[in-house]
């Protein structure tokens, strides 16, 4: 499981959209299972890549089962949608995320954590090789944040996600990409990437990193120590892209290409995404 982390405006979502083919006007190429992403139809991409967006739109009056079955659309024609086998596949996905008991519940009645698990079930029904999620823990409380990331770590497929909480990334992810101003400034294991000097430079706040040992591995614990009264704060903050300094979409799409190859290297070799030479 790979996490893309960095400040607001660093290019995390732009990178994901390049990988998914949602941004078409980028330089270079993205290779998916040996094929240029631009050459694949949306249906072909959906059979390999499943995307859970930060702001997933759902029809509140649909049942959980009905919504999850929509993940089967890449594999069937619209007129083949109904059928007992489709329900069986959807129920299997719901069981994997612990939501089979709520299959007939309306989406409007779900908690934030339950809705996120249902959306992951819909992505699983697509039978993807790679699941991509944009801030899946956003707006969730601590319990559901851990529940969702633990669930993702047990799916047995490649998972690429953006997340703001560095400690969650350190605890659950095998690999981390640290982004700043549209570029990858660090990649590797959480212990390799989450250093005091790197995080202080990228986030513009003094930071300390300790190490805890849990479940047989060393996990960095990151703590920031802001001093907003310090004179040095303004100069440190200048390293962070404020909303007025945020790179343009054109610039973000252009620089995101440099990150594609690094992100793809940590996905499974036969499932990954690789960047070719610039066009």
Q: What is the CATH number of domain 2-48+128-268?
A: 3.40.50.300
**What are the DSSP calls for 111-130, one per residue?**
-HHHHHHHHHHHHHHT--SE
Higher pLDDT, 142 or 33: 142
Q: Residue 232 — pLDDT band, cuts 50, 70, 90?
A: low
CA–CA separation, 212 and 190 (whole Å): 12
pLDDT number for residue 37: 82
**Domain ranges across the chain:** 2-48+128-268
- Tens-digit pLDDT profile for residues 69-85: 988 887 665 545 555 67
Can you read off the two tokens belonging to residue 17?
A: 């959209």
First to last CA, the chain: 30
CA–CA separation, 215 and 203 (whole Å): 29
CA–CA separation, 146 and 117 (whole Å): 12
Higher pLDDT, 108 or 279: 108
Please tell me the pTM assigned to this model.
Answer: 0.77
CA–CA separation, 183 and 10 (whole Å): 7
Question: From residue 202, how far is each of 206, 240, 249 by CA, in Å?
Answer: 10, 7, 20
């Amino acid at each position: 499981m790979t996490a893309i982390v960095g400040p607001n405006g660093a290019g995390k979502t732009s990178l994901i959209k390049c990988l998914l083919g949602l941004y078409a006007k980028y330089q270079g190429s993205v290779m998916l299972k040996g094929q240029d992403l631009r050459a694949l139809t949306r249906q072909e991409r959906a059979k390999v890549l499943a995307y859970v967006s930060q702001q997933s739109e759902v029809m509140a009056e649909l049942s959980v089962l009905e919504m999850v079955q929509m993940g089967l659309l890449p594999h069937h024609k619209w007129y083949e949608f109904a059928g007992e086998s489709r329900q069986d596949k959807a129920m299997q996905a719901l069981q994997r995320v612990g939501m089979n008991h709520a299959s007939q519940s309306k989406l409007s009645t779900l908690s934030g954590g339950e809705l996120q698990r249902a959306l992951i079930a819909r992505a699983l029904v697509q039978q993807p090789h790679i699941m991509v999620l944009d801030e899946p823990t956003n707006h969730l409380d601590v319990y559901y944040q851990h529940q969702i990331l633990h669930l993702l770590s047990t799916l047995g497929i490649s998972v690429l996600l953006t997340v703001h909480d560095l400690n969650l990334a350190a605890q659950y992810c095998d690999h981390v990409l640290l982004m700043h101003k549209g570029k990858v400034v660090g990649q590797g294991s959480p212990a390799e990437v989450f250093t005091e000097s790197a995080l202080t430079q990228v986030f513009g706040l003094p930071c300390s990193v300790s190490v805890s040992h849990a479940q047989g591995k060393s996990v960095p614990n990151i703590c920031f120590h802001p001093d907003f009264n310090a004179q040095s704060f303004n100069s440190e903050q200048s390293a962070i892209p404020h909303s007025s300094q945020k790179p343009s979409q054109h610039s973000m799409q252009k620089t995101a290409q440099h990150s594609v190859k690094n992100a793809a290297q940590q996905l499974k070799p036969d499932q990954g995404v690789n960047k070719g030479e610039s066009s």
